[in-house]
Every structure is written in C-alpha cells, then in structure tokens.
Amino acid sequence: MFRLDNKIAVVTGGGSGIGRAIAITFAKQGAAVNILELNISSAADVVKEINAAGGKAFAHACNVSLQNEVIEVFDQIGPVDVLINNAGIANIGKVETTSEADFDKVMQVNVKGVYNCIYAAIPQLRKSNGGSIINMASIAAHVGLPDRFAYSTAKGAVMAMTLSVAKDYIGEHIRCNSISPARVHTPFVDGFLKNNYPGQEVEMFEKLSKTQPIGRMAQPEEVAALALYLCSDEAAFITGCDYPIDGGFIKLNN
C-alpha cells in the first residue's frame, strides 16, 4: 500500500525540514522526486542521499516566487503526477509591527509561490491524466496565533486556493488537498531558538513543545507519512480537504 512506483513528484523546498522528509519518503516508495530549491546545495545533498539509497531524485535551482523560473523548471521536468507545495518562509509580528516589505515578501513566497507552481504544474498533470497536489497550510489558518499576522494571512490564502483548485479540476482527475501542521521539529526551529533565545534553547524548546496538547512537536517524517497517503492511489476519493496534524492543538487547546 501507499506505493508511488512510476510516479513523478515535485517537492518545493525539499532541501530541509518537512520538504526533505517528504522527498525521502516518496523516493523510498518508488517515486522519482524533483526537488525545487532556492538553496541548490541543500537540494543536492538530499538528492545524493536518495540516490545513494537506491532511489531516484533530481535537484533544480528555482525561486518559486518568479513565475518564469517555475515554468521553465516544470517544462524541463515534463509530465508529473504529484506536486508538493512546501516552500515557505516565516514572519513574526502583528499587523502594526509588520512592515510592507516583510508582508510583500511573505506573500511572494507563501502565496504567489504556491500559485506559480500550481499554474505550471496543471499542464504537466494533464499529460499524466491527473494526479495529486498537496499545499502546505498551517494551524495558523485555523486559529489565532500571536504575532503571526502575515504568516497566518498567507496560510489562509493557501487553504482557499486548495478548495478552488480542487473544485476547478476535479473533472480532470487532479486532486488538491492541504496539510496544516502545528509545530514541527525542523532545523528552522533550532535556528530560531538559537537566534532569539541564546542560552535558553532547551527551556524554550520544552515550552514550545508543550503548546501541543500531545506534549511534543511533530517530526517531519510524520508529516511526510500523511502527504504520502494523500498522494497515493489509496486516497483517490479525497480532494478539497485540509488535514491538521497538530497533536490536538486546534481542538484540544482550551
């Protein structure tokens, strides 16, 4: 079950964190994985790891906020079966402490980047007679989080895009769903703690972990497992849905 043999997958932001875990998991399950990354060296490292394990993967330098670059890469890849819109950036601040430049940057990557990749992927998915798109949303699209104005706005847009695409392309066998993680233990989290709480990393990590009712952060591989299911043939009846993976954050935080 949950095999992706002979499937061509595209994973944006696949050089680290959740994207890396998805790329490795999909390759283990038989997919040929194309990693789109702004940081091409990190993508190359993941490709090397996948190929060394007997999988098949390719790295592509790409800024997802630039449509011409995205279209060019998808034209090079050709027909695809799976698109994982994972690339994104974070931002801290409420509306009055979010500069116009920061707001625009978040929208360019987290919203326009998703649009650009879907725009370029649809013709290639048609060539494969359909497929699956997964957009990485967030619990920030469901609940109010402090100091996450621009990020929450962007993730809300991603959820809305997911529904729109699912509706528009259901007749062409193109499914579109989203995943909404709570905190996931990635190198980004470690870097954030190091930069913002030097000397207090352990204490702050524990504090952030306990904001999930389950008592810990998710592991990237757990998000990857959910993405694998949603892109597999076993999930062929699922489209237009968002899947929180949040350790009970949305429903159990009272």
The residues carrying an active-site annotation are 151
Helix/strand/coil for 174: strand
Q: Using the 8-state DSSP alphabet, how is residue 89 labeled?
A: -
What are 153's two structure tokens? 């706005």
Q: Residues with Cβ < 8 Å from 109, sequence gap 6 or more?
A: 64, 65, 87, 88, 89
Over its C-alpha atoms, the chain yields an Rg (Å, rounded) of 17
Which is nearest to 29 in space by CA: 53, 60, 58? 53
Torsion of Cα atoms, 159 then 164 then 165 then 166, to 10°: 90
Identify the bridge partners of residue 178 per DSSP, sorted by sequence position.
135, 242
